[in-house]
Amino acid sequence: MEYIKYPEEFRKLIAGIDTKVPLINGKYSTAINFDNAATTPPFLSVLEALMNFSPWYASVHRGAGYKSQLSSSCYEDCREIVGDFVGADMQKHTVIFVKNTTEAINKLSYRLLNKYKKDAVVLSSFMEHHSNDLPWRDKYSVDYVDIDCTGRLSLKDLKEKLIQYKGKVKLVTIAGASNVTGYINPIHEIASLAHEYGAEILVDGAQLVPHAPISMKTSNPSEAIDYLVFSGHKMYAPFGTGVLIGPRETFQEGVAEYVGGGTVELVTHNYIRWFDPPLKEEAGSPNMMGVIALVESIKSLQKLDMYLIDNYEKALTTYTINRLKCIPDIILYGNTIDSRDRLGIVPFNMEGIDHNMLAYMLSYEGGISVRNGCFCAQPYVQRLLNIPDEEIQRRIGDPTLSHPGVVRISFGLYNTHREVDTLISLLKKISLNKKDYIKKYKEILS
Ligand SMILES: Cc1ncc(COP(=O)(O)O)c(C=O)c1O
Protein backbone atom coordinates (compact mmCIF):
# COMPACT_ATOMS: atom_id res chain seq x y z
CA MET A 1 0.00 0.00 0.00
CA GLU A 2 1.34 3.42 -0.88
CA TYR A 3 2.03 5.91 1.91
CA ILE A 4 -1.07 7.99 2.59
CA LYS A 5 -0.98 10.97 4.89
CA TYR A 6 -4.21 12.84 4.31
CA PRO A 7 -7.71 11.48 5.00
CA GLU A 8 -8.94 12.87 1.64
CA GLU A 9 -6.74 10.25 -0.01
CA PHE A 10 -8.27 7.33 1.90
CA ARG A 11 -10.84 6.83 -0.85
CA LYS A 12 -8.38 5.40 -3.30
CA LEU A 13 -7.69 2.52 -0.92
CA ILE A 14 -11.23 1.14 -1.16
CA ALA A 15 -12.66 -1.33 -3.70
CA GLY A 16 -15.68 -0.08 -5.62
CA ILE A 17 -15.42 3.51 -4.46
CA ASP A 18 -16.69 4.87 -7.81
CA THR A 19 -19.41 2.30 -8.41
CA LYS A 20 -22.51 3.83 -9.94
CA VAL A 21 -25.91 2.65 -8.74
CA PRO A 22 -29.31 3.19 -10.40
CA LEU A 23 -31.70 5.85 -9.09
CA ILE A 24 -35.49 5.93 -9.34
CA ASN A 25 -35.32 8.56 -12.12
CA GLY A 26 -33.44 6.15 -14.39
CA LYS A 27 -30.09 7.92 -13.96
CA TYR A 28 -27.01 6.56 -12.24
CA SER A 29 -25.14 8.06 -9.33
CA THR A 30 -21.89 7.22 -7.50
CA ALA A 31 -22.90 5.09 -4.53
CA ILE A 32 -22.51 6.66 -1.10
CA ASN A 33 -22.08 4.06 1.59
CA PHE A 34 -23.04 5.23 5.06
CA ASP A 35 -23.61 1.69 6.35
CA ASN A 36 -20.14 0.81 7.54
CA ALA A 37 -21.24 -0.31 10.99
CA ALA A 38 -22.94 -3.24 9.26
CA THR A 39 -20.01 -4.10 7.01
CA THR A 40 -17.24 -2.30 5.17
CA PRO A 41 -16.04 -2.68 1.58
CA PRO A 42 -12.64 -4.35 1.19
CA PHE A 43 -9.34 -2.50 1.04
CA LEU A 44 -7.72 -2.90 -2.38
CA SER A 45 -4.59 -3.96 -0.48
CA VAL A 46 -6.57 -6.87 0.98
CA LEU A 47 -7.66 -8.06 -2.47
CA GLU A 48 -4.09 -7.74 -3.70
CA ALA A 49 -2.76 -9.73 -0.73
CA LEU A 50 -5.25 -12.50 -1.46
CA MET A 51 -4.15 -12.62 -5.10
CA ASN A 52 -0.49 -12.63 -4.07
CA PHE A 53 -0.96 -15.41 -1.54
CA SER A 54 -3.15 -17.56 -3.79
CA PRO A 55 -0.24 -19.30 -5.60
CA TRP A 56 1.08 -20.37 -2.19
CA TYR A 57 -2.24 -21.36 -0.63
CA ALA A 58 -2.47 -24.91 0.73
CA SER A 59 -4.05 -26.68 3.68
CA VAL A 60 -3.07 -25.42 7.13
CA HIS A 61 -1.62 -27.87 9.71
CA ARG A 62 -2.24 -30.83 7.41
CA GLY A 63 0.69 -31.40 5.09
CA ALA A 64 4.43 -31.82 4.68
CA GLY A 65 4.32 -30.20 1.24
CA TYR A 66 6.18 -26.90 0.91
CA LYS A 67 3.05 -24.85 0.34
CA SER A 68 1.26 -26.49 3.23
CA GLN A 69 4.19 -25.77 5.55
CA LEU A 70 4.32 -22.19 4.34
CA SER A 71 0.56 -21.72 4.80
CA SER A 72 0.72 -23.24 8.28
CA SER A 73 3.56 -21.06 9.51
CA CYS A 74 2.02 -17.97 7.93
CA TYR A 75 -1.30 -18.77 9.65
CA GLU A 76 0.41 -19.06 13.04
CA ASP A 77 2.39 -15.81 12.51
CA CYS A 78 -0.88 -14.02 11.84
CA ARG A 79 -1.95 -14.59 15.45
CA GLU A 80 0.95 -12.40 16.64
CA ILE A 81 0.08 -9.60 14.21
CA VAL A 82 -3.56 -9.60 15.26
CA GLY A 83 -2.65 -9.74 18.96
CA ASP A 84 -0.16 -6.86 18.60
CA PHE A 85 -2.73 -4.70 16.81
CA VAL A 86 -5.03 -4.73 19.85
CA GLY A 87 -2.27 -4.73 22.46
CA ALA A 88 -2.89 -8.29 23.64
CA ASP A 89 -0.47 -9.74 26.17
CA MET A 90 0.92 -12.57 24.08
CA GLN A 91 2.51 -14.22 27.13
CA LYS A 92 -0.93 -14.67 28.60
CA HIS A 93 -3.46 -14.40 25.79
CA THR A 94 -4.30 -16.74 22.98
CA VAL A 95 -5.68 -15.53 19.63
CA ILE A 96 -8.45 -17.79 18.30
CA PHE A 97 -9.76 -17.37 14.76
CA VAL A 98 -13.51 -17.77 14.31
CA LYS A 99 -16.10 -16.62 11.78
CA ASN A 100 -17.19 -13.32 13.30
CA THR A 101 -17.94 -11.53 16.58
CA THR A 102 -21.16 -13.48 17.08
CA GLU A 103 -19.37 -16.81 16.86
CA ALA A 104 -16.60 -15.53 19.15
CA ILE A 105 -19.09 -14.56 21.88
CA ASN A 106 -21.04 -17.80 21.53
CA LYS A 107 -17.80 -19.78 21.81
CA LEU A 108 -16.75 -17.89 24.92
CA SER A 109 -20.19 -18.30 26.49
CA TYR A 110 -19.77 -22.10 26.20
CA ARG A 111 -16.14 -22.16 27.31
CA LEU A 112 -16.75 -20.11 30.44
CA LEU A 113 -19.27 -22.72 31.65
CA ASN A 114 -16.20 -24.71 32.48
CA LYS A 115 -14.58 -21.88 34.43
CA TYR A 116 -17.47 -20.27 36.29
CA LYS A 117 -19.66 -21.88 38.92
CA LYS A 118 -23.33 -22.73 38.30
CA ASP A 119 -24.72 -19.60 39.99
CA ALA A 120 -22.45 -17.19 38.05
CA VAL A 121 -23.95 -13.85 37.06
CA VAL A 122 -23.03 -12.24 33.74
CA LEU A 123 -23.57 -8.48 33.51
CA SER A 124 -24.40 -7.38 29.99
CA SER A 125 -25.86 -3.92 29.34
CA PHE A 126 -28.84 -2.09 27.89
CA MET A 127 -26.78 -0.93 24.93
CA GLU A 128 -25.60 -4.33 23.69
CA HIS A 129 -26.01 -5.84 20.26
CA HIS A 130 -28.11 -9.03 20.46
CA SER A 131 -24.89 -10.96 19.82
CA ASN A 132 -23.59 -9.81 23.20
CA ASP A 133 -26.83 -10.57 25.00
CA LEU A 134 -28.53 -13.72 23.68
CA PRO A 135 -25.54 -16.12 23.95
CA TRP A 136 -25.38 -15.50 27.72
CA ARG A 137 -29.07 -15.92 28.48
CA ASP A 138 -29.47 -19.69 28.45
CA LYS A 139 -26.27 -20.44 30.35
CA TYR A 140 -25.93 -17.88 33.15
CA SER A 141 -27.98 -15.57 35.28
CA VAL A 142 -27.92 -12.39 33.19
CA ASP A 143 -28.56 -8.83 34.30
CA TYR A 144 -28.22 -5.60 32.34
CA VAL A 145 -26.29 -2.49 33.33
CA ASP A 146 -28.55 0.50 32.84
CA ILE A 147 -28.06 3.54 30.62
CA ASP A 148 -28.55 7.20 31.50
CA CYS A 149 -30.99 9.63 29.89
CA THR A 150 -28.66 10.29 26.95
CA GLY A 151 -28.21 6.56 26.30
CA ARG A 152 -24.72 6.29 27.81
CA LEU A 153 -23.74 3.35 29.98
CA SER A 154 -24.28 4.13 33.67
CA LEU A 155 -21.09 3.37 35.60
CA LYS A 156 -23.03 4.12 38.77
CA ASP A 157 -25.45 1.30 37.98
CA LEU A 158 -22.56 -1.00 37.06
CA LYS A 159 -20.99 -0.42 40.46
CA GLU A 160 -24.31 -0.88 42.27
CA LYS A 161 -24.93 -4.17 40.49
CA LEU A 162 -21.42 -5.44 41.23
CA ILE A 163 -22.04 -4.68 44.92
CA GLN A 164 -25.59 -6.09 44.90
CA TYR A 165 -24.48 -9.49 43.54
CA LYS A 166 -21.84 -9.90 46.28
CA GLY A 167 -19.08 -11.49 44.20
CA LYS A 168 -21.37 -13.60 42.01
CA VAL A 169 -20.76 -11.48 38.93
CA LYS A 170 -18.06 -13.38 37.06
CA LEU A 171 -18.16 -11.49 33.78
CA VAL A 172 -18.96 -7.95 32.69
CA THR A 173 -19.56 -8.03 28.94
CA ILE A 174 -19.70 -4.62 27.31
CA ALA A 175 -19.53 -3.11 23.83
CA GLY A 176 -16.35 -1.16 23.21
CA ALA A 177 -18.65 1.17 21.27
CA SER A 178 -22.36 1.03 20.53
CA ASN A 179 -23.50 0.17 17.03
CA VAL A 180 -26.58 2.37 17.56
CA THR A 181 -25.27 5.61 19.07
CA GLY A 182 -21.54 5.16 18.53
CA TYR A 183 -20.89 5.91 22.21
CA ILE A 184 -17.46 4.68 23.24
CA ASN A 185 -17.46 3.03 26.63
CA PRO A 186 -14.61 3.67 29.11
CA ILE A 187 -13.47 0.05 28.89
CA HIS A 188 -10.45 0.40 31.15
CA GLU A 189 -12.45 2.08 33.90
CA ILE A 190 -15.06 -0.68 33.56
CA ALA A 191 -12.29 -3.31 33.67
CA SER A 192 -10.94 -1.83 36.87
CA LEU A 193 -14.39 -1.86 38.49
CA ALA A 194 -15.09 -5.41 37.33
CA HIS A 195 -11.74 -6.66 38.65
CA GLU A 196 -12.25 -4.90 41.98
CA TYR A 197 -15.36 -7.04 42.48
CA GLY A 198 -13.81 -10.30 41.27
CA ALA A 199 -15.25 -10.30 37.72
CA GLU A 200 -13.56 -10.57 34.34
CA ILE A 201 -14.33 -8.30 31.40
CA LEU A 202 -15.19 -9.07 27.78
CA VAL A 203 -15.13 -6.18 25.33
CA ASP A 204 -17.25 -6.59 22.22
CA GLY A 205 -14.94 -4.72 19.87
CA ALA A 206 -16.99 -5.20 16.68
CA GLN A 207 -17.43 -1.44 16.33
CA LEU A 208 -14.48 -0.05 18.28
CA VAL A 209 -11.57 -2.04 16.85
CA PRO A 210 -11.98 -0.87 13.20
CA HIS A 211 -12.27 2.81 14.09
CA ALA A 212 -10.10 3.68 17.10
CA PRO A 213 -6.90 2.55 18.78
CA ILE A 214 -7.32 -0.04 21.53
CA SER A 215 -4.96 -1.84 23.90
CA MET A 216 -5.91 -4.86 26.00
CA LYS A 217 -2.72 -4.39 28.05
CA THR A 218 -2.42 -1.37 30.32
CA SER A 219 0.29 0.02 32.59
CA ASN A 220 -2.09 -0.63 35.49
CA PRO A 221 -2.91 -4.38 35.33
CA SER A 222 -6.29 -3.91 37.02
CA GLU A 223 -7.43 -1.94 33.94
CA ALA A 224 -6.44 -4.63 31.42
CA ILE A 225 -9.03 -6.28 29.18
CA ASP A 226 -9.44 -10.03 29.69
CA TYR A 227 -11.35 -10.93 26.52
CA LEU A 228 -11.79 -9.11 23.21
CA VAL A 229 -13.81 -10.08 20.13
CA PHE A 230 -14.16 -8.47 16.70
CA SER A 231 -14.97 -9.15 13.02
CA GLY A 232 -12.84 -8.79 9.90
CA HIS A 233 -15.78 -7.83 7.68
CA LYS A 234 -16.27 -4.60 9.65
CA MET A 235 -12.63 -3.65 9.09
CA TYR A 236 -12.21 -3.78 5.34
CA ALA A 237 -11.55 -7.56 5.20
CA PRO A 238 -14.87 -9.23 4.38
CA PHE A 239 -13.61 -12.78 4.00
CA GLY A 240 -15.19 -14.58 6.93
CA THR A 241 -12.77 -14.14 9.80
CA GLY A 242 -13.46 -13.06 13.35
CA VAL A 243 -11.26 -13.04 16.42
CA LEU A 244 -11.57 -14.14 20.04
CA ILE A 245 -8.70 -13.21 22.33
CA GLY A 246 -8.56 -14.33 25.93
CA PRO A 247 -6.33 -15.85 28.60
CA ARG A 248 -4.89 -19.17 27.39
CA GLU A 249 -5.78 -20.82 30.69
CA THR A 250 -9.52 -20.25 30.06
CA PHE A 251 -9.30 -22.60 27.09
CA GLN A 252 -6.82 -25.07 28.59
CA GLU A 253 -9.41 -27.10 30.50
CA GLY A 254 -12.64 -28.48 29.10
CA VAL A 255 -13.74 -29.05 25.55
CA ALA A 256 -14.69 -26.60 22.81
CA GLU A 257 -18.30 -26.34 21.62
CA TYR A 258 -17.24 -27.75 18.23
CA VAL A 259 -14.77 -30.62 18.03
CA GLY A 260 -13.27 -32.61 15.18
CA GLY A 261 -10.28 -32.49 12.87
CA GLY A 262 -7.45 -30.18 13.87
CA THR A 263 -8.32 -30.15 17.58
CA VAL A 264 -6.73 -33.37 18.79
CA GLU A 265 -3.26 -34.76 19.27
CA LEU A 266 -4.16 -38.40 19.99
CA VAL A 267 -7.43 -40.29 19.56
CA THR A 268 -8.53 -43.86 20.15
CA HIS A 269 -12.14 -44.98 20.35
CA ASN A 270 -12.07 -44.38 24.07
CA TYR A 271 -9.37 -41.75 24.55
CA ILE A 272 -8.82 -38.16 23.38
CA ARG A 273 -5.85 -35.91 24.02
CA TRP A 274 -6.68 -32.38 22.92
CA PHE A 275 -4.21 -29.96 21.44
CA ASP A 276 -3.41 -26.91 23.52
CA PRO A 277 -5.33 -23.71 22.72
CA PRO A 278 -5.75 -22.10 20.27
CA LEU A 279 -5.74 -25.26 18.08
CA LYS A 280 -8.28 -27.14 20.20
CA GLU A 281 -10.72 -24.24 19.67
CA GLU A 282 -10.54 -24.23 15.87
CA ALA A 283 -12.24 -27.39 14.65
CA GLY A 284 -12.01 -28.17 10.94
CA SER A 285 -9.90 -26.56 8.21
CA PRO A 286 -9.01 -22.99 9.13
CA ASN A 287 -10.03 -20.04 6.97
CA MET A 288 -6.50 -19.23 5.82
CA MET A 289 -7.53 -16.70 3.17
CA GLY A 290 -9.82 -14.94 5.63
CA VAL A 291 -6.92 -14.61 8.04
CA ILE A 292 -4.61 -13.29 5.30
CA ALA A 293 -7.29 -10.70 4.51
CA LEU A 294 -7.68 -9.65 8.14
CA VAL A 295 -3.95 -9.30 8.68
CA GLU A 296 -3.51 -7.26 5.51
CA SER A 297 -6.30 -4.92 6.60
CA ILE A 298 -4.59 -4.56 9.98
CA LYS A 299 -1.31 -3.68 8.27
CA SER A 300 -3.10 -1.10 6.13
CA LEU A 301 -4.88 0.42 9.14
CA GLN A 302 -1.59 0.61 11.03
CA LYS A 303 0.09 2.36 8.12
CA LEU A 304 -2.74 4.90 7.99
CA ASP A 305 -2.56 5.31 11.79
CA MET A 306 -5.56 4.50 13.99
CA TYR A 307 -5.28 7.88 15.75
CA LEU A 308 -5.59 9.72 12.43
CA ILE A 309 -8.56 7.55 11.41
CA ASP A 310 -10.26 8.09 14.76
CA ASN A 311 -9.81 11.88 14.61
CA TYR A 312 -10.96 12.10 11.03
CA GLU A 313 -14.12 10.06 11.60
CA LYS A 314 -14.93 12.03 14.75
CA ALA A 315 -14.58 15.32 12.87
CA LEU A 316 -16.88 13.99 10.15
CA THR A 317 -19.40 12.97 12.81
CA THR A 318 -19.41 16.38 14.48
CA TYR A 319 -19.82 18.02 11.07
CA THR A 320 -22.75 15.71 10.23
CA ILE A 321 -24.52 16.25 13.54
CA ASN A 322 -24.19 20.03 13.21
CA ARG A 323 -25.58 19.97 9.68
CA LEU A 324 -28.44 17.63 10.63
CA LYS A 325 -29.35 19.99 13.46
CA CYS A 326 -30.11 22.67 10.86
CA ILE A 327 -32.93 20.60 9.37
CA PRO A 328 -35.89 21.43 11.61
CA ASP A 329 -37.75 18.12 11.51
CA ILE A 330 -34.74 15.87 12.06
CA ILE A 331 -34.78 14.10 15.41
CA LEU A 332 -31.32 13.17 16.68
CA TYR A 333 -30.72 10.58 19.39
CA GLY A 334 -28.09 10.60 22.09
CA ASN A 335 -25.86 13.45 23.14
CA THR A 336 -25.44 15.82 20.21
CA ILE A 337 -23.56 18.54 22.07
CA ASP A 338 -20.31 16.68 22.54
CA SER A 339 -19.35 13.87 20.18
CA ARG A 340 -15.82 13.30 21.48
CA ASP A 341 -16.72 9.95 23.02
CA ARG A 342 -18.60 8.80 19.93
CA LEU A 343 -17.57 6.83 16.88
CA GLY A 344 -18.82 7.85 13.46
CA ILE A 345 -22.38 6.65 14.00
CA VAL A 346 -25.39 8.98 13.90
CA PRO A 347 -28.93 7.71 14.52
CA PHE A 348 -31.83 9.94 13.50
CA ASN A 349 -35.41 10.13 12.29
CA MET A 350 -37.40 12.63 10.27
CA GLU A 351 -40.65 13.73 11.88
CA GLY A 352 -43.63 12.23 10.04
CA ILE A 353 -41.72 9.73 7.87
CA ASP A 354 -41.33 6.07 8.74
CA HIS A 355 -37.65 5.09 9.16
CA ASN A 356 -37.96 2.36 6.54
CA MET A 357 -39.48 4.70 3.97
CA LEU A 358 -36.81 7.32 4.60
CA ALA A 359 -34.03 4.77 4.09
CA TYR A 360 -35.56 3.78 0.72
CA MET A 361 -35.91 7.44 -0.27
CA LEU A 362 -32.20 8.01 0.36
CA SER A 363 -31.32 4.94 -1.66
CA TYR A 364 -33.66 5.51 -4.62
CA GLU A 365 -33.28 9.30 -4.82
CA GLY A 366 -29.60 9.70 -3.95
CA GLY A 367 -27.86 6.31 -4.14
CA ILE A 368 -27.14 6.66 -0.42
CA SER A 369 -27.01 3.48 1.68
CA VAL A 370 -27.97 3.81 5.32
CA ARG A 371 -29.35 1.23 7.75
CA ASN A 372 -32.73 1.51 9.45
CA GLY A 373 -34.57 -0.37 12.16
CA CYS A 374 -33.15 -1.49 15.48
CA PHE A 375 -29.73 -2.73 14.32
CA CYS A 376 -29.93 -5.97 16.35
CA ALA A 377 -30.12 -3.92 19.53
CA GLN A 378 -33.87 -3.82 20.11
CA PRO A 379 -33.87 -3.20 23.89
CA TYR A 380 -31.52 -0.22 23.41
CA VAL A 381 -33.53 1.32 20.56
CA GLN A 382 -36.77 0.79 22.50
CA ARG A 383 -35.24 2.82 25.34
CA LEU A 384 -33.85 5.56 23.06
CA LEU A 385 -37.27 5.94 21.45
CA ASN A 386 -39.03 5.87 24.85
CA ILE A 387 -41.39 3.14 23.71
CA PRO A 388 -43.78 2.38 26.58
CA ASP A 389 -43.90 -1.16 27.90
CA GLU A 390 -47.57 -1.55 26.89
CA GLU A 391 -46.64 -0.89 23.28
CA ILE A 392 -43.85 -3.45 23.39
CA GLN A 393 -46.33 -5.95 24.86
CA ARG A 394 -48.75 -5.14 22.04
CA ARG A 395 -46.03 -5.97 19.53
CA ILE A 396 -45.21 -9.21 21.35
CA GLY A 397 -48.91 -10.12 21.08
CA ASP A 398 -49.27 -9.15 17.44
CA PRO A 399 -46.29 -10.08 15.23
CA THR A 400 -47.87 -8.30 12.23
CA LEU A 401 -47.30 -4.85 13.78
CA SER A 402 -44.36 -2.99 12.26
CA HIS A 403 -41.27 -2.34 14.38
CA PRO A 404 -40.31 1.13 15.46
CA GLY A 405 -36.81 2.18 14.56
CA VAL A 406 -34.39 4.84 13.47
CA VAL A 407 -32.15 5.59 10.51
CA ARG A 408 -28.42 5.16 11.07
CA ILE A 409 -25.50 6.77 9.28
CA SER A 410 -22.22 5.02 10.01
CA PHE A 411 -18.91 6.15 8.59
CA GLY A 412 -15.85 4.41 7.30
CA LEU A 413 -12.48 6.11 6.94
CA TYR A 414 -13.16 6.80 3.23
CA ASN A 415 -16.37 8.83 3.66
CA THR A 416 -16.12 12.55 2.97
CA HIS A 417 -17.64 15.88 3.96
CA ARG A 418 -18.89 16.22 0.41
CA GLU A 419 -20.84 12.97 0.72
CA VAL A 420 -22.39 14.30 3.91
CA ASP A 421 -23.36 17.49 2.04
CA THR A 422 -25.14 15.36 -0.58
CA LEU A 423 -27.08 13.57 2.16
CA ILE A 424 -28.00 16.84 3.85
CA SER A 425 -29.31 18.46 0.66
CA LEU A 426 -31.42 15.40 -0.10
CA LEU A 427 -32.82 15.33 3.43
CA LYS A 428 -33.66 19.04 3.11
CA LYS A 429 -35.44 18.41 -0.17
CA ILE A 430 -37.44 15.55 1.35
CA SER A 431 -38.26 17.65 4.37
CA LEU A 432 -39.53 20.55 2.25
CA ASN A 433 -41.64 18.31 -0.02
CA LYS A 434 -42.61 15.73 2.53
CA LYS A 435 -46.20 15.12 1.44
CA ASP A 436 -45.19 14.50 -2.18
CA TYR A 437 -42.37 12.16 -1.23
CA ILE A 438 -44.57 10.18 1.16
CA LYS A 439 -47.27 9.78 -1.50
CA LYS A 440 -44.72 8.65 -4.08
CA TYR A 441 -43.04 6.14 -1.75
CA LYS A 442 -46.30 4.73 -0.43
CA GLU A 443 -46.97 3.66 -4.00
CA ILE A 444 -43.41 2.45 -4.63
CA LEU A 445 -43.23 0.40 -1.43
CA SER A 446 -46.78 -0.99 -1.50
C1 LIG B 1 -21.48 -4.06 18.63
C2 LIG B 1 -21.66 -5.27 17.78
N3 LIG B 1 -21.47 -6.48 18.31
C4 LIG B 1 -21.60 -7.60 17.59
C5 LIG B 1 -21.96 -7.56 16.27
C6 LIG B 1 -22.08 -8.82 15.48
O7 LIG B 1 -21.05 -8.85 14.54
P8 LIG B 1 -20.99 -10.01 13.45
O9 LIG B 1 -22.25 -9.89 12.66
O10 LIG B 1 -19.77 -9.71 12.67
O11 LIG B 1 -20.91 -11.29 14.19
C12 LIG B 1 -22.19 -6.31 15.67
C13 LIG B 1 -22.63 -6.22 14.27
O14 LIG B 1 -23.15 -5.24 13.82
C15 LIG B 1 -22.02 -5.14 16.45
O16 LIG B 1 -22.21 -3.93 15.91
Of 36, 131, 228, which is best to mutate to test ligand 1, by the most ligand atoms within 8 angstroms of its C-beta? 131
Tell me: do 119 and 244 sit in the same domain: yes
Q: What pLDDT score does 61 carry?
A: 85
Instruction: Say if 2 falls within a structural domain.
Output: no
Residue pLDDT, tens place only, 100-147 = 999 999 999 999 999 998 899 999 999 999 999 999 999 999 999 999
Tell me: do 30 and 53 sit in the same domain: no
Tell me: do 346 and 438 sit in the same domain: yes
Q: What pLDDT score does 338 carry?
A: 78
Tell me: do 107 and 51 sit in the same domain: yes
Q: What pLDDT score does 174 carry?
A: 98
Please check whether residue 294 is in contact with residue 99, taking contact to mean a CB–CB distance below 8 angstroms: no
Domain that holds residue 176: 47-302
Please check whether residue 376 is in contact with residue 133, taking contact to mean a CB–CB distance below 8 angstroms: no
Backbone angles phi, psi at 255, to 5 degrees: -125, 145
Instruction: Say if 1 falls within a structural domain.
Output: no
Percent of the chain whose pLDDT exceeds 90: 93
Burial status of residue 154 (CB atoms within 10 A of its CB: 0-12, 13-18, 19 or more): middle
For residue 206, the CA-to-ligand 1 centroid distance in Å is: 5
Of 129, 244, 343, 374, which is best to mutate to test ligand 1, by the most ligand atoms within 8 angstroms of its C-beta? 129
Longest dimension (CA), the chain: 74
Tell me: do 129 and 252 sit in the same domain: yes
For residue 39, the CA-to-ligand 1 centroid distance in Å is: 9
CATH of the domain at 309: 3.90.1150.10
Residue pLDDT, tens place only, 364-375 = 999 999 999 999
Tell me: do 27 and 125 sit in the same domain: no
Number of H helices, E strands in the chain: 14, 17
Tell me: do 193 and 208 sit in the same domain: yes
Boundary-marking domain end, from 255, 277, 302 = 302
For residue 68, the CA-to-ligand 1 centroid distance in Å is: 32
CA 418 to chain centre: 26
Pocket lined around ligand 1, Cβ cut-off 6 Å: 37-38, 100-102, 129, 131-132, 175, 179, 204, 206-207, 231
Tell me: do 250 and 324 sit in the same domain: no
Tell me: do 194 and 320 sit in the same domain: no
Q: What pLDDT score does 223 carry?
A: 98
Q: Which residue from 334, 356, 407 is spatially nearest to 177, judged by alpha carbons?
A: 334
Tell me: do 137 and 24 sit in the same domain: no
Q: What pLDDT score does 364 carry?
A: 98
| Nearest protein Cα to ligand 1, atom 12 | 206
Tell me: do 422 and 292 sit in the same domain: no
Q: What pLDDT score does 7 carry?
A: 73
CATH of the domain at 82: 3.40.640.10
Domain count within the chain: 2
- Residues of the chain short of pLDDT 70, as ranges, are 1-5
DSSP 175: E
Distances (CA, A) of 411 to 169, 183, 217: 35, 14, 27
For residue 431, the CA-to-ligand 1 centroid distance in Å is: 32
Instruction: Say if 87 falls within a structural domain.
Output: yes
For residue 174, the CA-to-ligand 1 centroid distance in Å is: 12
Tell me: do 139 and 268 sit in the same domain: yes
